[in-house]
């Protein structure tokens, strides 16, 4: 039951949705220097949930998570579902609402990511990984709703458990449509850590190349200046030598004239 309530049934999906949204915001900041999702909106200043889209997103996500957990916890200790129909009905209502909100927020993230990619030209690895992770999160969200009403998918359905073990169909559905989807999405999201490190290394290499290029250009300029100064010096020396020769010729001519 602890795994059902605090594991992949609620918290895992919740964290992935929240992470996807935060990475989308960071992708916009990396490209534009800011994110309009976090920017205060004048028409939302009277909104009790917050004056930005990010604040509203969080205030919707947290209650959705609480409803999924509360709905699951209501089934604890129930052995006869027929005798507790009202409680089961309320539980299904809470879980359905929570999972529907999860799925809706996931679709919103996908649409925001596509809009950022096409219109805002936000095409860094943060946004691309979110776009790649979103389909897996959507499948996970659809499964979350279906599992409430299809017995073979329902983790809380007592008929799926017997002395021989757990219904094998439940295990297949759970691992393929829930655990695997969350794992695949988390791989894309976590990959940003390594991609960012690689980007930092590439940036350092580019910076080092720029420094070397500037140093090389500076050395070339110094060498050119030295050559210019040397040429100027040689030219001056050559000019001085010519003047001396002319003077010697003049003096020699004058002397021969006097002798003549």
Three-class SS string for the chain? CHHHHHCCCCHHHHHHHHHHHHHHHHHHHHHHCCCCCCCCCHHHCCCCCCCCHHHHHHHHHHHHHHHHHHHHHCCCCCCCCCCCHHHHHHHHHHHHHHHHHHHHHHHHHHHHHHHHHHCCCCCCHHHHHHHHHHHHHHHHHHHHHHHHHCHHHCCCCHHHEECCEECHHHHHHHHHHHHHHHHHHHHHHHHHHHHHHHHHHHHHHHHHHHHHHHHHHHHHHHHHHHHHHHHHHHHHHHHHHHHHHHHHHHHHHHHHHHHC
pLDDT (mean) for 164-180: 90
Q: Using the predicted structure, report yes or no on whether residue 161 has a pLDDT greater than 70.
A: yes
Residue 234 in this model has a pLDDT that exceeds 70: no
Q: Please determine, for residue 256, whether its predicted confidence score (pLDDT) is greater than 50.
A: no
User: Which segment, 84-98, 128-142, 230-244, is predicted with the most confidence on average?
Assistant: 128-142
- Ranking 89-98, 155-164, 181-190 by mean pLDDT, the lowest is 155-164
pLDDT digits (tens, 9 = 90+) for 192-212: 999 888 877 766 676 677 777
What average pLDDT does the chain have? 81
Instruction: Give the pLDDT band (50/70/90) at residue 233.
Output: low
Residue 60 has pLDDT above 60, yes or no: yes
Q: What's residue 52's pLDDT?
A: 84
Q: Assign 39 a pLDDT band (cuts: 50, 70, 90).
A: confident
pLDDT attached to residue 215: 72
What is the pLDDT at residue 235? 63
100-158 per-position pLDDT tens digit: 999 999 999 999 999 999 999 999 999 999 999 999 999 999 999 999 999 898 887 87
pLDDT at 11: 78
- Is pLDDT at 221 greater than 80 in this prediction? no
């Amino acid at each position: 039951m602890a795994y059902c309530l605090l594991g992949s049934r609620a918290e895992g999906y919740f964290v992935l949705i929240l992470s996807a949204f935060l990475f989308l915001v960071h992708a916009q900041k990396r490209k534009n220097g800011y994110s309009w999702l976090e920017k205060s909106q004048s028409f939302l200043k009277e909104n009790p949930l917050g004056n930005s889209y990010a604040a509203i997103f969080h205030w919707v996500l947290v209650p959705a998570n609480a409803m999924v957990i509360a709905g699951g916890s209501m089934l604890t200790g129930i052995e006869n579902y027929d005798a507790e129909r009202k409680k089961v009905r309320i539980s299904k209502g809470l879980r359905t609402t929570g999972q529907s909100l999860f799925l809706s927020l996931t679709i919103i993230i996908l649409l925001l990511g596509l809009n950022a990619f096409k219109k805002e030209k936000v095409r860094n690895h943060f946004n691309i990984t979110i776009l790649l992770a979103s389909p897996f999160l959507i499948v996970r969200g659809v499964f979350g709703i279906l599992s409430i009403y299809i017995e073979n998918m329902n983790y809380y359905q007592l008929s799926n458990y017997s002395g021989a073990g757990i219904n094998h169909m439940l295990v297949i559905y759970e691992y393929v449509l829930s655990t695997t989807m969350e794992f695949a999405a988390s791989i894309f999201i976590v990959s940003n850590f390594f991609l960012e490190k690689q980007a930092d290394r590439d940036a350092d290499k580019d910076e080092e190349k720029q420094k070397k290029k500037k140093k090389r250009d500076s050395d070339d300029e110094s060498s050119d200046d030295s050559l210019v100064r040397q040429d100027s010096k040689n030219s001056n020396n050559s000019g001085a030598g010519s003047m001396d020769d002319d003077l010697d010729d003049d003096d020699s001519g004058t002397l021969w004239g006097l002798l003549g």
